[in-house]
Amino acid sequence: MSTYVIGDVHGCFDELKKLLKKISFNPSKDSIIFTGDLVNRGNQSLEVLEFCMKEKSIETVLGNHDVFLIKSLLGKKSPKRLKNICAHKNKKKFLEWLVKKPFLISKKLNGKEFIIVHAGIPPSWSIKDTKVFNATYSLFSKTTLAFNSLASSISLGPGASSTEYLFLNSCFNF
């Protein structure tokens, strides 16, 4: 059994299929952890999303493009490459699946802990801080739209870094 960590698919489903064939991925034995950005740049974001949703051996963290898709599914501006997802009959299922995805996955493999995130952790955050943020986000996202309305009450303290601001802004539209 192998665990593969794959980053930034960006809607390139044909390329993903080629990669999975090259590594002889077997969903009944192997697992995949995506490091976010499943969608947006390629022309097959819908196919990537559907594949990830149906395959039980796949986990993913959210990337900034996935967060942008959440915002688009909530009625924000929908870019051309995501219109087929935002107009799809299953868009509510896509939203419900996405908001349940974490910003961090912690995995123990061979006795070692691995932390999987998209594009790193803000320099001012510890692993513990990141896990707390992830748990807080997870709690909010359990009630799909609640986190969006609560976001307007979140404010950053004077010690917040620009990275933290940009990260939270991309998530909650400050």
Q: CATH no. for residue 39? A: 3.60.21.10
Domain containing 110: what range?
3-172
Give CA–CA dist 28/65, Å, rounded.
29
Contacts of 119 (CB under 8 A, 6+ apart): 36, 63, 64
- pTM here? 0.79
Give CA–CA dist 110/117, Å, rounded.
20
Predicted pLDDT of residue 79 = 79
Give CA–CA dist 2/25, Å, rounded.
8
Share of the chain above pLDDT 90, in %: 55
Which string of b and e fits 52-61 if b means at least 16 CB within 10 Å? Answer: beeeebbbbb
Per the structure, the count of domains in the chain is 1
Predicted pLDDT of residue 167 = 54
**In this structure, what are the phi and psi dihedrals at residue 115, rounded to the nearest 5 degrees?**
-110, 125
Residues of the chain with pLDDT under 50: 144, 146-165, 173-174
Mean pLDDT of the chain: 83
Contact (Cβ atoms closer than 8 angstroms) between residue 74 and residue 46: no
